[in-house]
Structure 1
Amino acid sequence: MNLAYLRTHSYYSLLESLLSPEDLALTAQEFDIHALALTDYQYLTGAIEFYEACLQAGVKPILGLEIDLTYHGHTGRIGFLAKDKEGWSNLSRLSSITLVDNRSIDCDTLHAHRAGLICTLGGKNGLFRELFFNTPAELKLSQHLLSDLKTIFDQDCFFEIQRYANGPLKNEQAVIQIARQLDLPLVASQNIHYRDPKDHALFQTLSAIRQNKPIAQQLKKDRLSLPLHFPTRADFLHRFQDYPDALTNLSHIVDRCNVDLPIGQTHFPTFPTPDGVSQSDYLRMRAYGGAKRIYHQITPEIKARLDQELAIISEMGYEPIFLIMEDVLEQTRHLGIPTSSRGSAASSLVAHVLNITSPDPIALNLYFERFLNPARKKPPDIDTDIASHRRDEVIKYVFEKYHPDQVAMVGTINRYRPKSALVDVAKAYGLDPATVRQLSNKLPSSFTYRSIPEVDSADPFSSLLGEGVNPIIKDIVNDAKAILDMPRHLSVHPGGIVIAPFPIKDLIPIMHSTSLGVNHTQYDLLGIEKLGMVKIDLLGVRGLTVLGEVAEQIQSWHQKEYQNSFQVLEQIPQDDSKTAITISTAKTIGCFQVESPGMRATLREIGAKSVEDIMTALALYRPGPLRGGLRDAFVRRFREEEAVIHIHESLEDLLSETQGVILYQEQVLRIAHELGGLSIAQADLLRRAMSHFDAGNVMDTLRENFITGAIHRKAVPFETAERIWEMMAAFAGYGFPKAHAASYAQLAWNSAWCKTHYPAEFMCAVLGFGGGYYSQRVYLMEARRLGLKVNPPHVNHSNERFRTIYPNGLPILYMGLGQVRDLTQKTIRKIIDQRPFYSLDDFLIRVDPHRKEARNLLLCSAFEGLTTIPAGLDHIKHQHIPGQFNLFSEPQTDEDWDLTQKAKAAQEVLGISLEISPLEQFADQIQSVGAVSTLEAENLIGEKIFLAGMRQAFRRFRNKSNQMLGLLTLEDLEGSISVFFPADIFRQSQMTLAEQGPFLVEGYVEKDERSHRIRVIAKRIHLLS
C-alpha cells in the first residue's frame, strides 16, 4: 500500500528537529514512503524547500502546520494539512496570526480559516491529551473539543493514533473509544524529529538549548524519552496492523492533499495611477516628462533609448516597480533624506529620468540590458541606499502608502555558525559562563561567523581538541559540529521589502519583529523569489547620513543659496580643485568607500582627481584584481611604466579607458556584443553564466557563438578569439558593475568635498553616527590632524551625538552625551531641555539625575567651568540624589585633577580619552629612542628607524608558500604608514599585534619599485606600557 507519514518536523521547527527538509525527502525515498507531510511548529519557513525536495525525490509533498489552539483557557498543539490552494492560504494565514499577534488561535479563528484544511489531533503533546488526562471536568471538556472540531471540519477531521518503537501512548484504548463514539476516523501517525535512534542524544541537546536549561534539568522529560526517529516502512505497518482503517485513512488523506505551489509565477504589485490611466501609459508619460526636465531637448538618441527600455519594461510587466520607486524617492526628497542608487539599475535611462538613479547611462555608455532584458529568468532588484538614521521613516511610508497587509520586510534565516553552536551546546552541557567564554575564545576568528560551505574541509574546532582533552569537551564539539548550519532564529533582511498585489499572508506567511516594529516574511530572498514576489531594497548607509547632516548645516547657513539640503548635495561642483587634492593625496579617512588603507593607497597610485578616477579605484580595489595582479598592471600602465598591449586591435576602443584591462562588467557586454556579435541580452546571459561558473550547455553554446562571430565580424584569428574568451571568463568572477561604481564614486566625491570645505561639520557627523571603517579613536586622531579641537561631553554644549559650535569663530567639537556610560535617554532629554546650567546644584535640582549618572558626568568633565571633578564628587556624595550608593571618598577641594587622572576617568565612562592621546602619554619613551613620525619616515627610504603609533587597521594573509604574513597600518598625529611583517617576525609578534597600541616599531623603510608604495619592513614591535 502507499504509505504516508503525517507528523514530520524539519529543523525549521526551530530547535525542535535535527532534519532538513531535504533530509526528510531523501529518507522517505530511501524507506519507500509514498507521501510525506511537513508539520513544523508555528513556522512554514521550510515548506518551499520541502516541496521541491520531495518532488525531486519522487515523494508526494503534503504541506502542513502544527500550532497552538486555546480552548476554554487550555492550550495545546493541533495539526493541519492543506488540501488545495485555499488550504495553503489558510495555513499561511494561521501561521501569520500566531507569529504576528504572538498568540494561539481559538475555534472562532479556525472556523474562519477552515476552507481547504484537514485537521488532525490526538497525538502526543496535543491539546486533546493535555485535557484528557486531567480532572473529570477537563475530560468532559476534551470530548467537547473533539465535537467542536468535527463540527468545524466535518469529514476533514481525523484522530491520530500515535505509536512509537517503545509502544503506544498511555491509555490508547480509552482515547480511541471516545473518537469512535464521536465517529471520528482514525489515522496512523508518529512525530518524527530525527532520522535514526542514535540521534536521540543530540536531540536532547537541542531540546536543552531550546528550553535554555542544562540537559540534566530539562522540562518535559517524558517527551524526550519518546523515540522520535524516522520509522522504516515495515516497522510502521507492523505497529498499526491491528487498526487497518487507520492505515487506509492515510491513503484517503494523501488523495485529498494536492497543493501546487505557484513557483515560477511573478506577482507584481499595482501602482495607483491617476484617472484610471494604465500603468504602462503613466510610466511613459512620467519618463518623457523627466527626460525633458533633465536633458531639456529629447534627441533621437534619447527617444530611441527610452522607447526601447519602455518596451522591455512593459513586456516584462515591470512598470509598477519603476513607478513605486519614483514615488518612494520623491517622498525621501520631500522629507529631506539623502539617497543614492546602487547596482545595475543605474544602467536604465528610465530610472535616471525618474530620479531613481543619479549616473547618466548615456554619458557613461551603460547598457540597459545589464539591468533588465527578456532573457533574465527573474526580475532584478532596484536597490536604493538611504541615510541610515532616517530609513525607518521611508519604510513607514511604504507600509502606509501601499497598505500594511500588502507590504512586508524580507526575512532572513540566522543559522548556527561555529561560535554560536559551540556556545549554545556548552551551555546545554551545564558549563559555567566563564568556561563557555574561554572555549569560544579559542576558536579561530576566521571561523567565528562563517557558514559551512565557506569552511570547506577545515575544522573550525580543531583548536579545542588534542591529546588529554576532557571527554565532555569532545562531546560538546561533536554536538556543535552536528548542529552547524541549522536555523537558530529568523530575523529581518537589512533592506528588502516585498509589495504584493494582494494581502501577503494569502501566499507567504509573515511574522512580527518586535525590535523593529514591522512584519517580515518567514522566507528569505530565495523563498520569496520562488513564489514570485518582487522586492525593492531600501538599505541604510551611514555615509549618506553623514552627507545629510553636513548638507543640513550648510543649508542653514546659506538659506538664500539653497532652498533645502538636497540642493547642497546636487550642486557640489565636479571639478573642485581642492577636493581633487584631497582625493589624490588620499586624505580620505571618513569618506564613503575610499577610506581603507588599501583604497587610499590605490587613490595615491593612480593620482585620482575626479569622479571617473574614483570609479576606477573602486573597481581596482577588489579581491579579483588584487589577487590576479591586474591592479598593479593597471597602475604601471597608468604611469606609462608599461606599454598597453591589446590581444587584438579590435579591443582598443573597448578597453582604452581602463588601460587595456577589463574592469567593468559592462565591458564584457561590449566585447561580446561588438566583437562577437552576440545580442546584448545574450551578452548579459554570458556575463551571468560566467560569474556563476556555469559549466553547462549555455556556456558551450555562447562560447561557440562568440568565437564564430569574432572570426567573421572582425577577422579575429581563432586562437586570439579563444584568448579573448578566456580573458572574459577570468574576469567574470570579480566583475564590478560600472553603474554601481558610478553611483558610489559620486558619493565618495561628495564626501571628500564636504571634508575639504567643511571639515568640522564633516568629522562631527562621522563621529556622531558611528564612523565607518575605523574605530572612533582613529576619527578623533584625524580630527586633530585637521586642526580641530575636540572636547568631552558638556552639559551646556553637548547634544546626544557630537556637536560643533563656534564660540569665537573657530569650531569646537563636543562629544555627545549619548556616549556617557549609564546616562539614560530621559536624563539626556532633560539636560538638553533645561540648560543652560549655572552651577552643579542648579543642574542637580532641575535635572534630578541618578547618583550614578551625576558621577559619570563629573568623571568625563561634563561640568567644566561649573565645578572641579573632586569638588563635584564630594558634593554629590553628601546630597540626596536617587540611587543610594556611597561610592566616593575624594576630599572636598577646589583643585582639579591633572590630565592623567582626567584621562583615566574619561576612559572609564566614555571608553576613550580626549584629554591626552595615547602617544602623548609615552612621549618620553618615544623621544628616548629617537622615533620619527610617519611623515618623516616617507623621506627616509633605506634607513633603519623607530616609529611610534596606534593601530589604524591590520590584516593577516598568506603568501605563495602558505606562510602567514601581517600588514599593520600605523598612525600618529601626522598621518599613517604601512608596516609589513615577514613570516618570522609575524610569528614572534602575533600577541602584540592583537592589541590596539600604542606601539613602538623598529624596522627599515623601503619603496616598492613597481607600485611605488612606501612601507616599513618590521624587525621588532613593542607595546608601550
Structure 2
Amino acid sequence: MYTNCHSYYSLRYGILSEIQLLDLAKANGAGFVALTDINSTSAALNFLKLAANYPVWPVVGVDFRNGVHQLYVILARNNNGFMEINRFLTHHLHEKKEFPDTAPTSEDTYVIYPFERAMEQEKKDFRENEFIGISVRNLSRLMFTDYITYTDKLVIQQQVTFRNRTDFNTHRLLRCIGLNILLSKLPKSEEGSTESVMYPKAELLDHFAEYPFIKENTKRLMQGCKVVFFFDDQRTNQNQEHYYGSRDADYEFLKKECYRRIPVRYPNAGKKVTERVAYELDSIKRMGFVFDFVANYITIEDAKAHNRPHIGRGSGANSVVAYILGITNVDPIKLDLYFERFINPYRLSPPDFDIDFSWRDRDNVAQFMFDTFKNVALMATYVTFQYRAVIRELSKVFGMPKEETDKFLAGQFIDPEKDKYLKLVCKYGKRIHGFPNYVSVHACGIIITEKPIEYFSATFMPPKGFRTVMFDMNIAEDVGIFKFDILSQRGLSKITDCLEIIAYNRPDSEVKDIDAVYEFYEDDKINALLSVGDCIGGFYVESPAMRVLMTKLRTNDYLGLVAASSIIRPGPGNGGMKSEYILRHRYPERRAEAHPVMHDILEDTYGIMIYQEDVLKVAHHFAGMSLAEADVLRRGMRGKKRTKGVLVKMMNKFKDSCRKKGYPEKTIEDIWGQVESFAGYAFAKGHSASYTVESYQSLYLKCYFPIEYMVAVLNNGGGFYKVETYVNEIKKYGGIISPPCINTSDHPNIVVRKEVFLGFGMVKSIEDRTTEKLLTERQLYGKFKDLADFYDRVPIGVEQLIILIKVGAFRFTGIGKHRLMWEAYLKYNKGATKDRTPVLFKSPHVDYKIPDIETNFLIEAYDQMEFFGFPFISRFKLLKHPPESYLLAKDLPDYNKKRITIYGNLVTFKGTDTTNGQHMFFGTFADAGEAFFDTVHFPRVAEKFRFQSRGSYKIIGTVTEELDYYSIIVDEIYFQEILPDPRHHQPENFNKALPKFIKSV
C-alpha cells in the first residue's frame, strides 16, 4: 500500500518510468500503488493504462510541493476528483503562485499531510477527507506525539522514489542539473531520502504490525480511489461532439455548405461528383466525424476572411467534401484518390487533416480556435535528455573542464577507464539518456474536447499564452483525444510577402489569383523551370536531389511533379521503384517489362507502385478486397507492433481472395511480394499533390516576379540553401544588390524597382535596438541629412555606428567610408556614448582636417564578408591566382566521359555512408555564371580532399551522364585562396593610424 510514488515525470527528481514503477510493485507484492508525481499529472493516464496489465490497484494524484518542500499529497477518489486536482494544479501553475499550506476542500479527493508537516504546523483539526501520512522512518516517533490518538486519520505514507543506491545517485545528479550546481554544492535539503524505497509487502506490513488501524485506514482509503478511463479498443471519442447545438445541426450545416459550394469547384458537376459527395457525407455522418469537418471548415473560413492563406495536406486531400469546402486544394476526382484512404468503416479515430499556415499567422489561427470552440488546449511533447547533452551537463556537475568534455565527445585523447570522473559521467549519462527533461509544446497539435481539459490533465502556460496539457499525442489518442494539426511553415509566408512586395514595387503589374493553381499547371514557362530544375526558392522543389530528379524525369507538368514529389521520398528510392519509374517514364518500350497485372491496374505509373493509394488499387482491383479492407491492409503494413496481427489477417484475406478469382499461385505471390515490400514505406498521393499546389504557386511568382519572390524568400529565413545562394539568384535575374541605407532600408530587405536594399536584419553584429532607434527616429522626424545629423538624433554607441558606416549605410552622403569613420571616432571622443537630449540650438560640429584614405572593391568585399557572410561581387573576382580553366556548367555535355578542370563556388554538400560503412559526399557548386553543377566524391577522394569552407574550389574529375543529367566524378578538389585584405598588409594601415590621429587631435 503505497500512497506516494514518483516517476521520472517528477522532472529532474524521479528516476523510474511508469513501467519500472509497476514492475517494482509487482515484484514486491504491492497491491495498491498511487502515482503522485511532484506538481505534475503527465504520467497519470499512461500509468492507468499500463496498470491494467499488472496485479495492482492503481491510484493517481499529485505530490504538491513548493520547491522540494512537501506540503501534502492529494489522491483522486474518482474522475471528478482527478479533475479537481488538475484544476487546482493548473491555477497555481498558470499564475506562478506557491501552493497554500492547506489543501483545498473536496469530497472527491483524499489529502495526506506528511507526519513532519503536520508536526511543523501543529495541525490538530482534520476534515473528513484529510489524513496523516506515516513513513517507516517516522513510526518510532509517532507514539511520542498526540497523533497516536488520531487512530482514524493515520495512513501509511512510505514514499517511493528509488530502487537502490544507484537510483539515488542518479537522483542527486538530476537535482544538480536542475539547480545548475556542482555535486559538491548540492544541499541535503534539495535531495530526497535514501529511505524512499519500496519494501516487500510482508516487510512493510511487519513494520506496521503494532498499528493494525493504520494498515486498515490505508487500505480503506486506497480502495476508495477509482479513476476510470478507457483506452485503445475500449476508448470513445473524447473530442467535442458538435458546434451548432446538436450533431444533426452540424450535419445539416456541413451538407448545406457542401452543396452550396459544388459549383465553385465543379462548374459542370456530373453524376460522378454528386454521387461521390453523397457517399462521403453519409460516411462522415455514420462515422461520427462531422464536427471534425465543421471545425476545420470554420477555422479556414475565418483565416480566409483575414487573408491568412493555408495549404490542406495529409490524407484529407482524398476527400471531395474537403476539396469542395476549401479545406484542401487537391481535386481527388481528377487524381483518382480514394476516399477510403481517408475514412473507412474500420477507422476508429477521426480524420487527420494537416493544415499549414504561415508561421506569422499560426498563432492567430490558434487564438481563433481557442476563442471559438469548447475546451481547447495545445498538445504537449516531452523533450528528453539526449546522451551528448547529458554528458555535457554531468561534466559540469563534476566540475570537469569544458575542453576535456569537448575532446571526449570528439573521440579524442581521453580514455574513460582512466578517468574516474569521466567514467561516472559515462555511466550515469547512459542511465539518464531518454529521461524526460521538460514538457514542451507540440509543433502543431491542438485538442478540442467535450469534457473540460482538466478532466484529463493539468495544464501549464507557455510564453505565447496558450494553455498546454501535460501529456503527448500517443496517450491522447489511446484515451480518445484526437488532435487537430495546425502547422506553421515559411513557404506560405514567402508567397504572401511576395504579393505584398509586388503590390508596392510594381503596382501596375497584373498578378493572377494565387489560388487559381490549375492555370499554373498549364503554364509552359513554369513547367520549363521544372524540366531543367531551375527552382531555387520554390517550395519542396529546390533541393539538389529534387533538381536532379526533375532533370532526369524531364518533369514538365502537374502530374509529373506529383509523381516526383512522391518518388523522392525514402520508400520508393530505397525499394528501387524510383530508378525503375524514371526509366519507364523516359523509355516507353521499357514499360513492357511491367507485370501484366500491375500494368493494367497502375497504367498511370507504368505498373510501379509509387503512392500509398496504389496499394489500395492493387488490393481492390486485383484481389477483390473492398476499398475499406484495402486501407486496413495498408495501415497494417506500416510496421507498428499493434497492427502485426491485423497484417497477417489481411494478408490471408488478400491471398484467399486472389485464389477465389482463379489467379495462379505464382502470380499471387509475385503481386503480394511487391505490395509487401512497398506498402510500409509509401507516400500518399494526396500528400504529394498538396505539396505540388504550393510548389506551383511559388514557381509562378518566381517565373514572373523573380526579384520580388527572392526577396520574400530572404525575408522569411531563406530555404534549403545559404543566404548567398538566394542573393546570387536575384543577381541572375537582373536584380541589383545594395547594402543597407539609413534613409531607405528597413529591418527586412526591400525592393525599389530592380534594386534590392538589404535590410538591417541581414547585418551581423547590428543590434535590434540600434535598428529600432534608427527606424523610429526616421519615421517620426524624417530622413537624415548626413553623419552629423544622424549623430545628433540617434543615441547609439560608436561600435554600432562604425558597423553602419562599414556596410555602406551612409553612402548617400557621397563621402568615403574611411573619412566617415574618422569623423565618427572624433565625435564620440574615442568611443564614449553620448546621451541625445533635445536642445533648442545645436552647437556647430567641428570640421576636422582628415586625411584621405581611398577604398577599393577588395576592401568592400572583405567588409561585406565580415558583416553579411558573403561578398556582393562574384567570388571569382577575388581569386588570388587566375583560373586554369574557364569551363562552365553548360559545357559539361561537350566533355562527357572526359577528364576536366572546372572552378565552382561551393553551394552545399551532403555526406552519406556507403554499404560498407565508408563516407562519401555529394556536392553542389555554382560556376562563374551562377549555374549549378553537381559532384560526386567517393570515399577515397572524400578522405583525402576535405571541404574547408564556403568559397571557390578547383575541381578535377571526369564528366558522367545519366538520363541527360551531367555531373562530375571528382578525383581532386582544391580550395582557392583569395586576395588578402589590403588593410592588413600596409605598414601604416587605417587601424594603426586611427588612434595616433585621435591622440594628436
Give the equivalent residue in structure 2 for 1:408: 377
Give the equivalent residue in structure 1 for 2:967: 1015
Shift in Å, 1:82? 0.8
Whether the 8 Å contact between 1:790 and 1:815 is mirrored in structure 2 is: no
Give the equivalent residue in structure 2 for 1:231: 199
CA distance in 2, matches of 1:243, 1:881: 83
Where does 1:694-705 land on structure 2 (aligned, <5 Å)? 696-705=644-653
Paired residue secondary structure (1:110):
coil
Whether the 8 Å contact between 1:551 and 1:568 is mirrored in structure 2 is: no
Is 1:615 equivalent to 2:615 in the alignment?
Answer: no
* Normalised TM-score (structure 1): 0.88
Paired residue secondary structure (1:728):
helix
Paired residue secondary structure (2:361):
helix
1:560–1:674 CA distance, 2 compared to 1 (3 A): farther
CA distance in 2, matches of 1:413, 1:60: 27
- Stretch of structure 1 that moved more, 599-608 or 898-907: 898-907
Give the equivalent residue in structure 1 for 2:654: 706
Where does 1:598-997 land on structure 2 (aligned, <5 Å)? 598-640=545-587, 643-645=590-592, 648-692=595-639, 696-713=644-661, 715-806=662-753, 810-817=754-761, 819-825=763-769, 826-827=772-773, 829-830=775-776, 833-834=779-780, 835-866=782-813, 867-879=815-827, 884=832, 892-893=850-851, 895=853, 897-910=855-868, 912-922=869-879, 924-927=880-883, 929-930=884-885, 932-973=887-928, 974-989=930-945, 992-993=946-947, 995-997=949-951
Is 1:118 equivalent to 2:75 in the alignment?
Answer: no
Paired residue secondary structure (2:520):
coil
1:85–1:854 CA distance, 2 compared to 1 (3 A): same
Cα shift readout 1:921-979 (whole Å, capped 9, x = no counterpart): 22x4251x336333334432233223333332222223333332222222334322222
CA distance in 2, matches of 1:742, 1:341: 10
CA distance in 2, matches of 1:222, 1:390: 43
1:567–1:696 CA distance, 2 compared to 1 (3 A): closer
Give the equivalent residue in structure 2 for 1:309: 280
Counterpart of 2:436 (choices 463, 467, 487) is: 487
Counterpart of 2:952 (choices 992, 995, 998) is: 998
Paired residue secondary structure (1:993):
coil
Give the equivalent residue in structure 2 for 1:60: 57
1:214–1:616 CA distance, 2 compared to 1 (3 A): same
Amino acid at match of 1:970: F
Where does 1:212-223 land on structure 2 (aligned, <5 Å)? 212-221=180-189, 223=191
1:29–1:359 CA distance, 2 compared to 1 (3 A): same
Give the equivalent residue in structure 2 for 1:193: 161
CA distance in 1, matches of 2:948, 2:396: 28
Q: Which runs of 5+ in 2 are unaligned?
A: 835-847, 978-1001
Cα shift readout 1:145-201 (whole Å, capped 9, x = no counterpart): x53xx23xx1x21111123xxx549x9348x72434666622222222222223222
Give the equivalent residue in structure 2 for 1:431: 400
Counterpart of 1:362 (choices 310, 333, 338) is: 333
CA distance in 2, matches of 1:274, 1:88: 28
Give the equivalent residue in structure 1 for 2:227: 259
Shift in Å, 1:436? 4.0
CA distance in 2, matches of 1:283, 1:568: 23
Amino acid at match of 1:969: T
Whether the 8 Å contact between 1:588 and 1:594 is mirrored in structure 2 is: yes
Paired residue secondary structure (1:978):
strand
Amino acid at match of 2:397: A
Whether the 8 Å contact between 2:28 and 2:198 is mirrored in structure 1 is: no
- Stretch of structure 1 that moved more, 968-977 or 896-905: 896-905
Q: Provide the aligned length of Structure 1 versus Structure 2.
A: 955
Whether the 8 Å contact between 2:571 and 2:683 is mirrored in structure 1 is: no
Cα shift readout 1:521-577 (whole Å, capped 9, x = no counterpart): 111111222232232111111111111112233456787998x99657658532111
1:891–1:271 CA distance, 2 compared to 1 (3 A): farther
- Stretch of structure 1 that moved more, 17-26 or 306-315: 306-315
1:238–1:586 CA distance, 2 compared to 1 (3 A): same
Paired residue secondary structure (1:493):
strand
Amino acid at match of 2:864: A
Whether the 8 Å contact between 1:270 and 1:501 is mirrored in structure 2 is: yes
1:832–1:608 CA distance, 2 compared to 1 (3 A): farther
Shift in Å, 1:251? 0.9
1:123–1:352 CA distance, 2 compared to 1 (3 A): farther
CA distance in 2, matches of 1:495, 1:891: 62
Is 1:419 equivalent to 2:388 in the alignment?
Answer: yes
Paired residue secondary structure (1:865):
helix
Shift in Å, 1:338? 1.8
Is 1:159 equivalent to 2:132 in the alignment?
Answer: yes
Counterpart of 2:496 (choices 540, 548, 568) is: 548
Counterpart of 1:539 (choices 487, 499, 504) is: 487
Give the equivalent residue in structure 1 for 2:94: 100
1:891–1:778 CA distance, 2 compared to 1 (3 A): farther
Whether the 8 Å contact between 1:581 and 1:609 is mirrored in structure 2 is: yes
CA distance in 2, matches of 1:691, 1:67: 42
Is 1:379 equivalent to 2:350 in the alignment?
Answer: yes
Shift in Å, 1:623? 1.2
Whether the 8 Å contact between 2:29 and 2:201 is mirrored in structure 1 is: yes
What percentage of aligned pairs have identical amino acids?
24
Shift in Å, 1:831? 5.2
CA distance in 1, matches of 2:761, 2:898: 46
CA distance in 2, matches of 1:744, 1:328: 21
1:919–1:168 CA distance, 2 compared to 1 (3 A): farther
Amino acid at match of 1:958: D
Shift in Å, 1:109? 7.5
Paired residue secondary structure (1:40):
strand
Whether the 8 Å contact between 1:871 and 1:891 is mirrored in structure 2 is: no
1:645–1:471 CA distance, 2 compared to 1 (3 A): farther
Cα shift readout 1:93-151 (whole Å, capped 9, x = no counterpart): 1232232222233378713xx23111112167xx546xx2xxxxxxxxx124x53xx23
Give the equivalent residue in structure 2 for 1:323: 294
Shift in Å, 1:859? 2.5
Whether the 8 Å contact between 2:395 and 2:405 is mirrored in structure 1 is: yes
CA distance in 1, matches of 2:522, 2:134: 79
Paired residue secondary structure (2:719):
coil
1:938–1:172 CA distance, 2 compared to 1 (3 A): farther
CA distance in 2, matches of 1:491, 1:970: 39
Paired residue secondary structure (1:537):
strand
Give the equivalent residue in structure 2 for 1:505: 454
Paired residue secondary structure (2:820):
helix
1:607–1:394 CA distance, 2 compared to 1 (3 A): same
Whether the 8 Å contact between 2:79 and 2:455 is mirrored in structure 1 is: no
1:891–1:766 CA distance, 2 compared to 1 (3 A): farther
CA distance in 2, matches of 1:437, 1:513: 33
Whether the 8 Å contact between 1:508 and 1:521 is mirrored in structure 2 is: yes
CA distance in 2, matches of 1:325, 1:394: 11
Whether the 8 Å contact between 2:407 and 2:414 is mirrored in structure 1 is: no
CA distance in 2, matches of 1:204, 1:276: 54
CA distance in 1, matches of 2:285, 2:698: 37
Whether the 8 Å contact between 1:412 and 1:492 is mirrored in structure 2 is: yes
CA distance in 2, matches of 1:392, 1:63: 34
1:348–1:568 CA distance, 2 compared to 1 (3 A): closer
Whether the 8 Å contact between 2:354 and 2:485 is mirrored in structure 1 is: yes
Where does 1:109-188 land on structure 2 (aligned, <5 Å)? 110-111=104-105, 114-122=106-114, 127-128=117-118, 132=120, 142-144=121-123, 147=125, 150-151=126-127, 154=128, 156-163=129-136, 167-168=137-138, 172-173=141-142, 177-180=145-148, 185-188=153-156
Whether the 8 Å contact between 2:239 and 2:481 is mirrored in structure 1 is: yes
Amino acid at match of 1:830: T
Shift in Å, 1:900? 3.0
CA distance in 1, matches of 2:490, 2:633: 35
Paired residue secondary structure (2:910):
strand
